Amino acid sequence: MERTNVFRKTSFYIDGQWQEPLAGKDYSVIDPAMETAFAMISLGGDVDVDRAVVAAARAFTVWQESARYERIELLERLLAIYTQRMDEMAQTISREMGAPMTLASGPQVQIARRHIRAMIDVLKDYQFDHPLRADAPNDRILHQPIGVCGLITPWNWPMNQIAQKVAAALAAGCTIVLKPSELAPLSAMLFAEMIDEAGFPAGVFNLVNGDGPGVGHAIARHPTIRMVSLTGSGRAGEAVMLAAAPTFKRVVLELGGKGANIIFGDSGIAESVRRGTLQCFNNTGQSCNAPTRMLVERSYYDEAVAVAAETARSVTVGPPSEEGGHLGPLASGRQFDIVQDYIKSGIAAGARLVAGGVGRPEGVKRGFYARPTVFADVTPDMRIAREEIFGPVLSIMSFDDEDQAVALANANDLGLANYIQTADQTRAERLARRLESGVVVLNGATRAPGSPFGGMKHSGNGREGGRWGLEEFLEVKAVSGWSS
């Protein structure tokens, strides 16, 4: 692997300071646009996790007793520092995972800011201590921090997940050991600098870089860690649950998705299809809530296929360093290979390729760039219809009526987010109740800050965001005989 101007950043943030690993192994961070190493980090081991957990456990004895106003003040300070350094964060995210600067400086960094702000607002009003109900004043409900928490975050929206988990854990009074993705670790390390600058007590937040089988496994099975929150693949979720089982810790999982976008003819086919196609391709298709299955009312199917194909052909790819609405590369060579394999499987299964296809876009010789791809005449048994691809690949199917649309949408092990496009609001709300997913979006609506996010079935358990996200980090204690 070619290395040009590689800088080393091998230390971990433990107990309020940057410390060199005890069991570190060098790992190259690859620029996905150039396929070259540009940074060197260290992958830690069990002893590094132990050191971080000891620090977090020691800090928890004090942090769990901190006053609400103290946590709010520190989170407000973190938010201010994050806001001041968003340009630096955007540059880091763009370089490590390939997001074009317009995306990196927009949604990639802004959504994290929104999560921190929303959690501060929740913390201001949340009742950690309250009577069971008016007619039972001597029964008290206490919501108390669960303890040391292991947070395992992905590479596709690095700050989105880190900010969401960290803000909730800190607001709850928990202490943290964070393992970011080794593919996109530098944004997490920058965030650790912000935590330090904000003045959080030593040991409240700790960061150990590593891979899943190493640091991830050590976090999941560590007896002192009382809760693990993972965002990642189904395979990673299964591994974490198995490793965590002997210690009976709480496990919260936000896993993959295979979102269905149900489009009725009365929604305005051209605009609905165009919007859905672009949303599928957003972040180069590397979003767990992407609407990757487009289900179209049969009498409008041909028009929808034509619009989706034309939309895909209008999408360009380009360097992450540039502004614009283009797609960047996929985040890694491994992800590029996975996406290519899925495209090949769609062709082999008999789906009709109407845009894109195998290989890099025309004229692109270097970088993990995939072609924006659309398949028509997809059937539910095909891999491209059943499995999460995590690339710019859209599968289109038709339906005859509401029942068939719902059956197709639900005929999947994954249940994270689904979408409905129709001018009939009553129908939209009726179908929303029937869809098996943790999130349903009607007619392109924007989700409000603090809205819960998470999945059903193989898309995981638990929720992030708002009071639901805070409560994942709290234990509920019922006390009888309390003074009224």
Question: Residue 4: its pLDDT value, please?
Answer: 54
Q: Which residue has the tokens 């299955």?
A: 293
Give me the numbers of helices (H) and strands (E) for the chain, helices first please: 16, 23
Q: Are residues 437 and 308 in the same domain?
A: yes
Asked if the structure places residue 65 within a domain, the reply is yes
Q: How many residues does the chain have?
A: 484
Residue 208 contacts residue 14 (beta carbons within 8 Å):
yes
| Digit-coded pLDDT (tens) for 384-404 | 999 999 999 999 999 999 999
CATH number, domain at 206?
Answer: 3.40.605.10
Judgement on whether residues 175 and 128 belong to the same structural domain of the protein = yes
CB contact at 8 A, 257 and 412: no
Decide if 464 is catalytic: no
Query: Are residue 94 and residue 139 in the same domain, yes or no?
Result: yes
Catalytic residue among 96, 182, 254, 471: 254
Q: What is the mean pLDDT of the chain?
A: 97
244 and 285 co-located in one domain: no
State the Cα–Cα distance between residues 322 and 102, nearest whole angstrom: 8
Whether 454 is covered by a domain: the verdict is no
Q: Which residue has the tokens 């509920």?
A: 476
Tell me, yes or no, whether 453 lies in a domain: no
pLDDT, tens only, 208-239? 999 999 999 999 999 999 999 999 999 999 99
H helices of 39-85, in order, are 46-63, 68-84
**Full DSSP string of 385-421:** HHS---SSEEEEEEESSHHHHHHHHHSSSEESEEEEE
pLDDT of 2 > 50? The answer is no
User: Do 187 and 284 have their domain in common?
Assistant: no
Tell me, yes or no, whether 343 and 272 share the same domain.
yes
Assess whether 94 and 235 both reside in one domain. yes
Q: What are phi and psi of 20, to 5 degrees?
A: -70, 145
Q: How far apart are CA 283 and CA 16, in angstroms?
A: 34
With respect to residue 130, please indicate whether it lies within any of the assigned structural domains.
yes
pTM: 0.96
Q: Find the CATH number of the domain harbouring 287.
A: 3.40.309.10
Task: Please tell me the number of Cα atoms within 13 Å of 17 on its side-chain side.
Answer: 3
Cβ distance 367 to 336 under 8 Å?
A: no
Say yes or no: 328 and 209 in one domain: no
| Same-domain status, 270 and 214 | no
Q: Is 288 part of the annotated catalytic residue set?
A: yes
Among 149, 174, 280, 288, the active-site one is 288
Same domain, 379 and 316: yes
Listed residue (449, 462, 440) closest to 289, CA to CA = 440
Distance separating alpha carbons of residues 205 and 187, to the nearest angstrom: 15
Do 226 and 339 fall into the same domain? Answer: no
**What range defines the domain where residue 406 resides?**
260-448
Percentage of residues in the chain having pLDDT higher than 90: 98
Tell whether the model's pLDDT for residue 240 goes beyond 50.
Answer: yes
Residue at token pair 């196609």: 277
Paired sense of beta strands 250-254 and 460-461, if any: antiparallel
Give me the number of domains the chain comprises: 2
- Examine the domain organization and report whether 121 and 251 are in the same domain: yes
